[in-house]
Chain A
Amino acid sequence: MDLLFSGIELILRFDVMLALLIGSVGGVMIGSIPGVGPAVAIAILLPATFSLEPIVGLTLLLGIYGSSMYGGAIPAILINTPGTAANALTTYDGYPLTKRGEAHRALSLAYSASFYGGIFSVVCLILLTPVLAAVAPMFGSREIFLAALLGIVLVITTHRGQSTIAAFLVCFGIFLNTIGLEPIRYTQRFTFEQTWLASGINLIVVVLGLFAISQAYSLLIGKDDSPKPPELNGSMTSGLAELFRHKRVATFSSGSGVIMGIIPGVGEFLAQFFSYSYASNTSKEPEKFGDGSPEGLIASEAANNAVPGAAMIPLLALGIPGEALTAMMLSVFYVHNVVPGPQLFENQPDFVVALYLALLVLNILVLIFLTFATRGILQVIRIPTRFLGVIVLTLSFVGVYSLRNSATDCALAAGFGILGYILKRLHLPAVPIILGMVLGGIMETRLRTSMASVDSPLEFINRPIAAILFGLIILTLALHLRNQIRLFHQWTAK
């Protein structure tokens, strides 16, 4: 109970509440603009949060992360264009409802389902805390190495149809992380005798290039467009009652979002996919799916909004980010010397509780904000796309330049922007590069430490959690290999 009170005390500070409010409202606005998304906003704001206290900086970013998917549902429903990638399936049933003149019902349902998913994941997070606090200390170096390796394997294998290029990009990320002066023996690695490479390549420079600057190029080069959402008439609160008529779908979808969120490298899309499939297969009206089914809309929104809370679990308990946004948050922890992992639960439990409460409060703030401000947000959606490109590129400068006032960092970010743009054009993922950089660094340190205390490779997996993680890695690889062999046979049969 004392812990809860100290968490409440921490979050009730004026600067923390202000950061949460700005993050939540800003996240909704950013999420509602197709082509911007939370990754761009977090990447730009990241350096600015370094001068803030960790709890303030993290609640700001957490606010954006947790609320952007609420906002992303608005263009998905009104103009058939998802605001964030995680709202893709929302278009299936949201837009048909808009075409039938029921846009307000669709939006209200989406908000209610998102709220349900968000709160569900926070409750799971709170209920899992004692378990995490008990299990986290059982994670030594070798377990953390294996968990990071599992994250890498999952990032590759879950990019179905793109696993080869995902593997290449993960290796590229690991390679980027190794460039520069190595910290143990002080040898140079791939610096080509260039002084600007000796200090390595900063993760934030890569993140800003791949997510923010590439998006700016994409908006500036693409066709100029100014979406025109329909007028909204009707109540924004009717969805709550309708949601409770479909609470089975909402609960399953939220649970699916929590599970997918916990597993590193899986993320919102698979959570939505499984929830939507479940809702469609178990519905009494399956024919309505894809044609304005409230269950479809609930499945999609409850699942995607349950992910952010759950994604904090591996980040806080093990220091392992599951996707690009939590990887960015990890850098805020590191900058402030707050090391997420088993010790965080022991040394700063009030900090962890405050983050949980921040997630809880942001869901409430966002629901209230959206109930009254949706009509105003429609103005934001109307911003022409090329003008958005101008805004994003102007903001990207502050993100990169404020890091070290380095023109080299800016040139690197502009270069990674070109790479990110090409990846976007080819529909290839950029996230494996970021996870390769972050998890590669973790794996290098943890392998070195853990191998020093084992005599044989078998000893590496002789502890229960290490053995389970190793088993999961082997199982994932075996399933993936089986799939690849099947695809190869299909190809040779052609």
Chain B
Amino acid sequence: MSDGKPKLELPTESRKVGDTVFAGICLLFSVFLLWNMTDQTTWAGGNHWSGQPAFWPRLAVIGMTLFSAIYLFHSLRDASGAERFTGLGEEVLRWIFSFEYAAWFMAYVFVTPIIGYMAGSVLFAVALALRVGYRSRLALISAASVGIVTVLLFKSFLQVKIPGGAVYQYLPEALRNFFILYL
């Protein structure tokens, strides 16, 4: 293959910005588990090691600690001081942005049992579309349609288990049953 063409090669070790921070978090988490290992697992007397309730979790935690320590060592070794911090703030900020969308998701989770799956889905899809920058009528109608189609497909057609909203109790009886079962 000549220059300028993509080169076929197996992936090699390449570190992204934030790798060291992630390795550090992994090691801290593993050490925390290791610290609590004896309290949180039971080594039952008289049992063969393979049947011990503590065997697999302890093995896993020891493995996590060992490999995260090696990973952190490799990460520190491969990046010089200046390289390690270039763009780090921006990268960590991106990680933090994901918490915002996790909060959006949880808001959807908490609102649905109150206002019902259909209203919750339409509200969530439209509000999230507005949040990420869509303002046109077409985009917002499309977002509402996503909510409606999702409910019709999963709850009305596939009958997945999603309970009716608390507000459904204020509906007339005939409508209430329909809403609880299908929307």
Contact = CB atoms under 8 A, between A and B. Distances in A.
Nearest to A181: B53
B161 A189 contact: no
A397 B59 CA distance: 34
Contact of A426 (B2, B22, B74): B22
Contact of B60 (A160, A171, A452): A171
Interface in B1-23: 1-2, 5-8, 10-14, 16, 18-19, 22-23
Interface stretch (A129-137, A443-451, A463-471): A443-451
A165 B77 CA distance: 15
A338 interface: no
Nearest to A280: B8
Given A168-B26, A407-B110, A175 B11 contact: no
B44 interface: yes
B105 A187 contact: no
Given A397-B105, A451-B51, A387 B142 contact: yes
Contacts of B22: 422, 426, 428
Contacts of B60: 171-172, 174-175, 178, 436, 440
Contacts of A172: 60, 64
Interface majority SS on B: helix, strand, loop or mixed?
helix
Indicate the size class of the contact surface on chain A: 35 or more
Task: Pick from A92, A414, A418 the residue with the most CB of B within 10 Å.
Answer: A414
Given A171-B63, A394-B147, A411-B106, A425 B57 contact: no
Given A172-B60, A213-B105, A418-B102, A273 B8 contact: yes
Nearest to B128: A390
Interface string A173-217: 011011100101101111110000000000000000000010011
A402 interface: yes
Interface in B157-183: 158-163
Contacts of A415: 102
Interface in A392-422: 393-398, 401-402, 405, 407, 410-411, 414-415, 417-418, 421-422
Nearest to B50: A451
B33 interface: yes
Contacts of A280: 1, 8
A290 B6 contact: yes
Interface majority SS on A: helix, strand, loop or mixed?
helix
Contacts of B86: none
Interface in B132-160: 132-134, 139, 142-143, 146-147, 150, 154-155, 158-160
A397 B109 contact: yes
Contacts of B110: 407
A371 interface: no
Interface in B44-82: 44, 47-48, 50-51, 53-54, 56-57, 59-61, 63-64, 67-68, 70-71, 74, 77
Interface in B22-40: 22-23, 26, 30, 33, 36, 40
Contacts of A216: 101
Interface in A155-178: 160-162, 164-165, 167-168, 170-172, 174-175, 177-178
Given A167-B67, A426-B22, A188 B40 contact: yes
A182 B22 CA distance: 30
Nearest to B124: A394
A91 interface: yes
Contacts of B91: 425
B74 A190 contact: no
A162 B57 contact: no
Contact of B101 (A164, A187, A220, A273): A220
A290 B16 contact: no
Contacts of B155: 398
A104 to B, nearest CB: 22
Given A51-B159, A189-B41, A220-B132, A451 B48 contact: yes
A398 B99 contact: no
A178 B57 CA distance: 6
Interface in A42-85: 47-48, 51
Closest 7 A-B residue pairs measured CB to CB? A290-B5, A171-B63, A161-B13, A175-B60, A168-B67, A451-B50, A414-B102
Interface of A: 47-48, 51, 89, 91-92, 160-162, 164-165, 167-168, 170-172, 174-175, 177-179, 182, 184-185, 187-192, 213, 216-217, 220-221, 224, 273, 276-277, 280, 286-287, 289-291, 386-387, 389-391, 393-398, 401-402, 405, 407, 410-411, 414-415, 417-418, 421-422, 425-428, 436, 440, 443-444, 447-448, 451-452, 491
Given A405-B162, A415-B102, A451-B51, 15 more contacts: A51-B158, A92-B8, A160-B12, A167-B63, A191-B40, A286-B1, A291-B2, A394-B128, A397-B121, A398-B154, A401-B109, A401-B162, A425-B16, A444-B56, A452-B48
